[in-house]
Amino acid sequence: MAHRTWGGRFAEGPDALAARFNASLSFDQALWREDLWQNRVHARMLHEVGLLTEEELRAILEGLDRIEEEIQAGTFPWREALEDVHMNLEARLTELIGPPGGKLHTARSRNDQVATDLRLFLRGAIDELLALLLALRRVLVGEAERHLEPLHVLPGYTHLQRAQPILLSHWFLAYYEMLSRDAGRLEDARERLNESPLGAAALAGTGFPIDRHHTARELGFTRPMRNSLDAVASRDFALEVLSALNIGMLHLSRMAEELILYSTEEFGFVEVPDAFATGSSIMPQKKNPDILELIRAKAGRVLGALVALSAVVKGLPLAYNKDLQEDKEPLLDALATYRDSLKLLAALLPGLRWRRERMGRAAEEGYALATELADYLAAKGLPFREAHHVVGRLVRRLAEEGRALKDLALEELKAHHPLFAEDALPLLRLETAIHRRHSFGGTAPEAVRERLLEAKKEVGLD
């Protein structure tokens, strides 16, 4: 049992299956950079407070540098029997430098060590995701600008039924707004998780004269956590990140779903780039939007990660419990899934081929301009609810006759209500309807252009 850091209490080793079930190295190995950083900072603090000599500190830092070189070169001797990344690094350090390596764990437990590593790791992961979100938001802004002149109009939908015409630029900017809020949620989560658990030790703090404020500063944290029980037992910071990832992935899934629908022959609005589609093994004509379908499906993985960690922590007594080892696998998977989805969409969107004429025809069909006539009557003084019924009866008659709104003559409009006059006819044109939606946040070109200019400044494209 000598090779096990906790073996002194035990007369026999663990069952082989139990040892494998207990080990976390296969996934917490991802934290090796953060663990080395923490080890260096902890060692320097121990020296500052007199718990390590100058020679011991030098030996530890040189040993940690050697370990980093081995890991980067792929020669580090990872050992599953040592359970996790922390014990692997500590055991190797002791092999390299002897007894001083065993002093590194003074005034520290794996409980505060892993909590510190995970916060450091998440801080870096969030920074990467924020950069990817910025890149995708820039793509959305670029696509919105590209399709503003000339105007690309498509039908907007409610209940997946054609409702009112909108600009394609407006559609892109809708997802820009969603992703901007996603970035804000990650920024908020980063701010809250940026506190240091290091020095909380197992659960109660330590009697050694450590300086937790020093280590917090050196690791880039805003402050040390103020309660040692909370420091080692809480994973709400990981839950908050997963919540943000879940919402963000839902937005990407919605975008993917719309593009999947729009790329079908039934809609025919857009064609997905060949590089992000696949074919059929039996049907040579098929072009399947597999990447978009997988983004849609993988939203379930991220939601599953959130549910899994919620179930882990929901009934845990204070302080640390081995259950918390189950925080990393779902979290790492969710981070990777969201990261890859952001990259894929940023690469895919500029290659979409939008069919402007097909979209325009669809926007005119299906009585999507009926609301314009109801608004016209309301502007003339008719109560809107009555105007709604007048135009509803008109649409019903046209549908029965198989005719479109644009086929209406002024006499027919007047037959349905005397308030209709010559100035109502331009409302049956797509361009008129689009330009009328000029309220703040609306789809009129001037409103979209105004928001686009602001968005470009927000993402540094002005």
Which residues are identified as catalytic?
159, 280
Give the closest residue to 433 by CA, choosing from 233, 71, 155, 49: 155
Tokens of 342: 């952001």
Rg, C-alpha atoms of the chain: 31
Tell me if residue 240 falls in helix, strand or coil.
helix
Handedness of CA 417, 421, 424, 428 (dihedral sign): positive
Dmax (CA) of the chain:
100
Q: How far apart are CA 70 and CA 222, in angstroms?
A: 32
Tokens of 3: 């090779």
Strand locations in 257-299 (E) = 270-271
Please return the burial class of 341, using the count of CB atoms within 10 Å of its CB with bins 0-12, 13-18 and 19+: buried
Which DSSP string corresponds to 21-70?
HH--HHHHGGGHHHHHHHHHHHHHHHHHTTSS-HHHHHHHHHHHHHHHHH
Strand partners, 167: 153
Tell me if residue 196 falls in helix, strand or coil.
strand
Q: Which residues contact 76 (CB under 8 A, 6 or more apart)?
A: 67, 70, 88, 92
Tell me if residue 154 falls in helix, strand or coil.
strand
**In degrees, to the nearest 5, what angle opens at C-alpha 220 toward C-alphas 322 and 57?**
80
Q: For residues 382, 385, 391 and 397, what is the CA-based torsion angle, rounded to 10 degrees?
A: -130
Tell me if residue 152 falls in helix, strand or coil.
coil
Strand partners, 157: 162
Q: How far apart are CA 203 and CA 138, in angstroms?
A: 45
